[in-house]
Structure 1
């Protein structure tokens, strides 16, 4: 059954008093190994940056016939098409085979498709490579953040999971600055070099991910309780089964046993996914977070910054590639800092601040763009650029770190694979729509295309204010109780003799270990 309030307070105090990770040798090793899955978003970032940067390289546009309108829209949205397909299968695959195999397979696909893009002989071949690259990238995107969240120590879980998606800016930075460096080259390598550089990080991930331990929650869900216990003792307890490890093991076993969710492609699976109020609430939060991350105002700069800069008179290759690189660097610094601020401020608070701030800057951006088009005053164009930077800051402050961290922590262990796949599916469908429609809208109605986004940002703010819940300071299993209710969770947790025996087995094993440790210390 769930812990009492006093027990929860004691455990939270133990976690707070735990030594910092850099004083624990095994945690240092664990987090160094986690660099491999933490780098997963770089593929997405690199592709987005190249989608921007290649549009500013004349030789690329000349080679592929200067695509515009719907053709350019599908080019920008092609990665999302692959992502949609990946998300349909990634959740069940991650739950069946584990987090690591999916991470490695996805990385291998990304590396292969980067080579295909480099040596493409037609625009259709290049776009097809982007579609398949998106498939591989989102196989990773479903599995890797689950692995990171479920492996991180409770004291660092929020910071580490928030840090995960900031690696998108490593890809953005490399892609942006590579295109800035190569646009002057008088050969096809002005666009091929950025493409081939995409191979490096996924090739590293393909191999290194197998050195990372498997998720203890996934192991318990497969009945491999002893393997999970040993993993927690080694990496979280630094070789000792301390009170925090005991608590984690109890919470994981209890949570998996108590969770009635059936993640199968059957009517029973559908009923358990959407049949309870708590599960529908979880889906609501996951899907709104996914949609919001792709529709919040600053998203216009993700794939079509050159078109926006054209509107304000900044049209040269040098200007556009340089601005793209500078914005990517600025965004990475902001998102990286936000990952360490969020655990102290609270999720709901940062969601509200970020969304409100983005909407204010986007309204100003829209007004300044309208005035620049009417007057072509240089100062107004600079003002738009300033609003783009400020809007990007407001967006990445929240919607980069928490689009991964928040959905992952609101669901249970059994739900995590499928629910997060639904989240990523929603992200891809939304990204495809916005990315495909944006160049058509900007081309046909110009700045007026911004007006519906101003209204949408306000609606998003209201949804967050009235429906988002605060999860700061809670473990993953405590968050489950927050949604299900203590009474319901207690009823579900009371599984009878089988669960009691498992719980007693864990407790007795820990008591023996603690007793032996105490005797050793006395000697």
Structure 2
């Protein structure tokens, strides 16, 4: 029986653990985690349709060519459903577990994809998108949390960073399917992409129940032995090795050290807002959520056809093809960046990405003004180049870290509710930007981009002065950045002693059992 670990040994033990592909049970775990990992893929598929279908003449003609506020609400409809999901989903995920909300969300997405396909009017189509937003956000509240809390500590940052990159797989599938069907001379030009949405949620509904529950959630519910068994089976490959003991020690210490009461009463709210560390966590969650939707990326994702209209690229073929190519480039950038993020400091990555994409946006704004003034095709082509350059700098950071960074900044007790708060802000910001963007583009044209450039400068200042560094730490150790070392180290010592006593009892029981068998 091995001894419990001291704090200075934890990182060494994790670093020396064997590669994941040499642990058969860990390979199985990562295969099972494809169910929650594909949540962003399903989300990206529908997002691609939001933008791509606007370039399909059969779709626009069938539903009366919506414009202005009507088109704005179409683009924002998923966010409306998402806002409701975020109000309810955090509490549901904490009460019933991460897997349950993933299953319910997938079932809603599947049902509403069918409703979209056979919609008889635009209001019915938009209504189904709202409920897809509700179901998709339920999945988003459970999926990344489950991935983050189940991944082996050696691969946690990589796996969590990869989570949101799969949104581009959905965008690629949706955009290329739309490109392949736009020329069909019937309503099946848009119905086929909508119908194909059912495949991913059907897969998730089937596989999610074979995936284990989060050990950290089980510990917060007092089910310590279940959590320990999951870690032994998957992370220890059936053995209670040093890595498993290090994880259990830190999970128990993290839960004990966290004084937050996740209850919506006076005492619970006071424990959340009364702590300077918790207020800082909420601040980071808020600004990361806002930045993911209000820094210009959602403008391209949702209203690319209108942007291309401004620079003379107005045919369905041009718009759907550019949309499809952008999705591939974005996925490659985000996927490769996920392998780099574990080796680079988080705050540095945020600053590098945001400063560079804002510089690109300034050039993009100037080129758009020049095209509108002169209608020279070269300026229009240059704008498309700037769109690709913007996406490169934005996706290298903001796709992966918008999920990974808020999740690692909060504790096991807080993770469900605080991440629901993050997703609520994401959806609220997405609604505002999606609803107002088409109207502002119509009324302000290229001048709308000037305000975006100014806002991005404000955001750079927020990152520089308030974001914290979390690289190189376990999930539980990150708490000391916000709450100080003393509480966690005391709890870690207490957990270490408890684990040591338990191991001694197990060892004595094992000796007694052998003695009985020999007798």
TM-score bracket for this pair, using the shorter chain length? over 0.9
Counterpart in the other structure of 2:417: 418
Tell whether the 8 Å contact from 1:246 to 1:510 is kept in structure 2 after alignment: no
- The match for 1:508 among 491, 504, 508 is 504
Counterpart in the other structure of 2:517: none
- Aligned in 2, Cα 1:210/1:442: closer, same or farther, shift over 3 Å? same
- Aligned in 2, Cα 1:381/1:506: closer, same or farther, shift over 3 Å? farther
Q: Secondary structure at the match of 1:305?
A: helix
Matching of residues 86-101 of structure 1 within 5 Å: 86-101=85-100
Counterpart in the other structure of 2:215: 216
- Aligned in 2, Cα 1:469/1:309: closer, same or farther, shift over 3 Å? same
Counterpart in the other structure of 1:405: 404
Tell whether the 8 Å contact from 1:298 to 1:388 is kept in structure 2 after alignment: no
Counterpart in the other structure of 1:37: 36
* Deviation per residue, 1:10-65 (Å, 9 max, x gap): 22122112111111111111101111100001222112110111000001000100
Distance in 2, Cα, partners of 1:238 & 1:8: 23
Distance in 1, Cα, partners of 2:80 & 2:507: 52
Shift of 1:409: 0.3
* Deviation per residue, 1:199-232 (Å, 9 max, x gap): 0000110110000000000111111111111100
- Aligned in 2, Cα 1:261/1:341: closer, same or farther, shift over 3 Å? same
Distance in 1, Cα, partners of 2:7 & 2:305: 52
TM-score, normalization: structure 2?
0.95
Tell whether the 8 Å contact from 1:86 to 1:138 is kept in structure 2 after alignment: yes
Counterpart in the other structure of 1:182: 181
Distance in 1, Cα, partners of 2:224 & 2:24: 24
Instruction: Between 347-356 and 486-495, report the one with greater CA deviation.
Output: 486-495
Counterpart in the other structure of 2:351: 352
Tell whether the 8 Å contact from 1:69 to 1:440 is kept in structure 2 after alignment: yes
* Deviation per residue, 1:350-403 (Å, 9 max, x gap): 111110111000000000000011111111111100000010011111110000
Tell whether the 8 Å contact from 2:109 to 2:136 is kept in structure 1 after alignment: yes
Shift of 1:507: 4.5
Tell whether the 8 Å contact from 1:297 to 1:358 is kept in structure 2 after alignment: no
- Aligned in 2, Cα 1:377/1:509: closer, same or farther, shift over 3 Å? farther
- Aligned in 2, Cα 1:470/1:500: closer, same or farther, shift over 3 Å? closer
Runs of 4+ in 1 over 3 A off after TM superposition: 6-9, 488-495, 499-515
Shift of 1:189: 0.4
Q: Note if 1:111 corresponds to 2:110.
A: yes
Tell whether the 8 Å contact from 2:76 to 2:435 is kept in structure 1 after alignment: yes
Q: Note if 1:13 corresponds to 2:12.
A: yes
* Deviation per residue, 1:451-482 (Å, 9 max, x gap): 11101111111111111111111001100122
Tell whether the 8 Å contact from 2:272 to 2:279 is kept in structure 1 after alignment: yes
- Aligned in 2, Cα 1:421/1:508: closer, same or farther, shift over 3 Å? farther
Distance in 2, Cα, partners of 1:481 & 1:252: 14
Q: Secondary structure at the match of 1:248?
A: helix
Shift of 1:501: 7.3
Instruction: Between 261-270 and 274-283, report the one with greater CA deviation.
Output: 261-270
Instruction: Between 270-279 and 301-310, report the one with greater CA deviation.
Output: 270-279
Tell whether the 8 Å contact from 2:249 to 2:496 is kept in structure 1 after alignment: no
* Deviation per residue, 1:278-299 (Å, 9 max, x gap): 0000001111100000011233
Distance in 1, Cα, partners of 2:301 & 2:101: 27
Counterpart in the other structure of 1:167: 166
Q: Note if 1:285 corresponds to 2:281.
A: no
Counterpart in the other structure of 1:127: 126
Distance in 2, Cα, partners of 1:221 & 1:348: 30
Shift of 1:514: 12
Q: Note if 1:478 corresponds to 2:477.
A: yes
Counterpart in the other structure of 1:378: 377
Counterpart in the other structure of 2:516: none
Instruction: Between 253-262 and 227-236, report the one with greater CA deviation.
Output: 253-262
Distance in 2, Cα, partners of 1:338 & 1:514: 48
Matching of residues 49-68 of structure 1 within 5 Å: 49-68=48-67
For this pair of structures, how many residues does the alignment match?
509
Distance in 2, Cα, partners of 1:383 & 1:7: 57
Q: Note if 1:297 corresponds to 2:293.
A: no
Tell whether the 8 Å contact from 2:298 to 2:434 is kept in structure 1 after alignment: no
- Aligned in 2, Cα 1:511/1:423: closer, same or farther, shift over 3 Å? farther
Counterpart in the other structure of 1:267: 266
Distance in 2, Cα, partners of 1:232 & 1:494: 21
RMSD across aligned positions (CA)? 1.9
Q: Secondary structure at the match of 1:428?
A: helix
Distance in 1, Cα, partners of 2:46 & 2:455: 26
Instruction: Between 301-310 and 481-490, report the one with greater CA deviation.
Output: 481-490
Shift of 1:92: 0.6
TM-score, normalization: structure 1?
0.94
Tell whether the 8 Å contact from 1:45 to 1:168 is kept in structure 2 after alignment: yes
Counterpart in the other structure of 2:225: 226
Matching of residues 138-157 of structure 1 within 5 Å: 138-157=137-156
- Aligned in 2, Cα 1:510/1:333: closer, same or farther, shift over 3 Å? farther
Shift of 1:424: 0.2
Tell whether the 8 Å contact from 2:334 to 2:396 is kept in structure 1 after alignment: yes
* Deviation per residue, 1:232-285 (Å, 9 max, x gap): 001001111111110100111121122211111211121111110000000011
Tell whether the 8 Å contact from 2:298 to 2:430 is kept in structure 1 after alignment: no
- Aligned in 2, Cα 1:344/1:246: closer, same or farther, shift over 3 Å? same
